[in-house]
């Protein structure tokens, strides 16, 4: 299973050989902080 197939399987709630590596997760906290400044989200 390649990276694309793995990601699509996980996003479609199907079985995958392992979880995909999510490179964007390393800056997710910065994204959430920015959303909070725009009042896009209030609970996280």
* Residue 22 domain-assigned (yes or no): yes
Q: Report yes or no on 44 lying in a domain.
A: no
| Domains of the chain: total | 1
The 10 Å Cβ neighbour count of residue 12 is 8
pTM: 0.49
Q: Give the tens place of pLDDT for each residue, 3-41.
A: 889 989 999 999 999 988 876 677 778 888 888 888 776
pLDDT digits (tens, 9 = 90+) for 19-28: 888 766 777 7
Domain assignment present for residue 25? The answer is yes
What is the distance between the alpha carbons of residues 10 and 15, in angstroms, rounded to a whole number? Answer: 7
> Who contacts 19 (Cβ-Cβ below 8 Å, separation ≥6)?
6, 10
**Residue 43 covered by a domain:** no
| Calpha distance 20→22 (Å, rounded) | 6
Residue 20 belongs to what domain range? 3-37
Q: What is the dihedral of CA 9, 12, 14, 20, to 10 degrees?
A: 40
Please check whether residue 26 lies inside any domain of the structure.
yes
């Amino acid at each position: 299973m390649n990276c694309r197939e793995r990601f699509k399987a996980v996003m479609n709630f199907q079985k995958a050989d392992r979880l995909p590596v999510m490179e964007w997760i390393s800056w997710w906290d910065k994204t959430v902080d920015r959303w909070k400044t725009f009042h896009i989200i209030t609970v996280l």
